[in-house]
Amino acid sequence: MQEITARFSLEEGRERIRIKDVVRCSSGKSDGLAGVGVRRHTFEGGAEMAAEARFKTFEYAVDSKTLTEKTGELSAEGMPNIITSAPPEFKGEAGLWPPEQLFVSSYAACLLIRFLGYGKREGVEYESWSCRAVGRMVREEQGWVIDRIDAYARVEVRGPEMAKKADEVLTLADNRCPISNSMKSEVVLHREIVDISSG
């Protein structure tokens, strides 16, 4: 259950009806309030309402340890361990998950899980889902960074109405993915919604 508190204030000088949303639901580093969402709505006559919603906070712990001079192991309670290394182009061991691909896969997994969750809620019936995410790493002044992720999602459905609904849910999943919302990398979602009933 979320705990809701609200604040109200008035500002003068606003003549037209408009709505302005400012939403923060992250670490709250800028204002010192962890897990706080802030929305402001301005209405005719200059009334501005600001509401603070306090949500639960969650922590996700990962442990790491060295295995060899080139490999390490990631572990979390109740989950299978992951052996990791640098990419081969950075003198790591081939065939192991490097941090760069784990970073990209975190968005791919988040998009998938969000789509499944919102799709179930909205009644999306799909025949198949696939997505390939590609991260681009470039050298900048501060060092190597993954500056962009392109995700190519394909969803197969039956019927134009279901195709429209799947597209809307995919947009929702992308917009509300906490992983991409936490990244400074540019994330571009390329979508392909295929109505296989018309083929």
Can you give the residue ranges of every domain in the chain?
3-54, 60-97, 99-198
Closest CA relative to residue 67, chosen from 81, 87, 88: 81
Residues 124 and 169: their CA atoms lie apart, in Å, by 8
pLDDT of residue 46: 54
Q: Is the pTM of this model over 0.85?
A: no
CATH number of 99-198: 3.30.300.20
pLDDT of residue 53: 61
pLDDT of residue 176: 96
Q: In the sheet where 63-66 sits, what is the strand order?
A: 63-66, 71-75, 82-85
pLDDT along the chain (199 residues), means of 10: 37 34 35 41 49 79 97 98 97 97 98 98 96 97 96 97 97 97 97 89
